[in-house]
Amino acid sequence: MFIGKNLLRRFFRDRGTFAAAKGATFAAWARRKLIEPIIELLRQGVTPDKIALSLAFGLGLGIFPVLGVSTVLCTVAAIALRLNLPAIQLVNYLASPVQLLLIIPFVRVGEHLVNDPPQPLSISAGFKLLATGVVHAVTVLWDAIVHATIGWIVIGPVLIFALYKLFTPLLVYAARVRLVPPRAGGPAA
């Protein structure tokens, strides 16, 4: 495995280590908002494979470059694939800042794929346009929306697959370490 076991042990260390941070650090925040809910899902018996798929789809669909669409896509994926809806939506919402940062790169990829010249775009101009009304903004930015969607269609599925392959061994390892106590009647670790 390309990720060392020591790195995994540091990532999945016991809860007491982060309690001293009193919520003031990013590590404590990430532990409380992301790691602990995932560990709790493992304790409830959700398989690492299903959680990895939920996280991969949540992040991959969460960066879909059309604002407001990622929540619907994540919900549909969770229902269709019988994934954990709270987990997929949690990652979707945590991916929102990344989604905003990747809109213009997705537009550029789409423009390149259809061989169109680059449009003058900026996030601040996009928000100002949204303030004038959603319908007006969609009308003005239609080409950019189409280009961004094309860019995501090329990158998104590959990203989801790669994230799934990354998250699965991490979660299998987390399920085996002391963070997830053995079930009653099972062998002790």
* Rounded percentage of the chain residues whose pLDDT exceeds 90: 43
Residue 64 domain-assigned (yes or no): yes
Whether residue 102 lies inside any domain: the answer is: yes
Residue 186 lies in a domain: no
Number of domains the chain is built from: 1
Instruction: Give the integer Cα–Cα distance in Å for 64 and 52.
Output: 19
Q: What is the pLDDT of residue 14?
A: 46
Are the CB atoms for 42 and 171 separated by under 8 Å? yes
pLDDT at 145 over 60: yes
Residue 183 lies in a domain: no
Residue 120 tokens, joined:
């003058």
Residue 151 lies in a domain: yes
Whether residue 132 is contained in a domain is answered as: yes
Structural domain including 113 reads 5-176
Residue type, 187: P
Higher local confidence (pLDDT), 145 or 9: 145
90-119: per-residue pLDDT in tens?
899 999 999 999 999 999 999 999 999 888
Does residue 91 lie in a domain region? yes
pLDDT at 181: 57
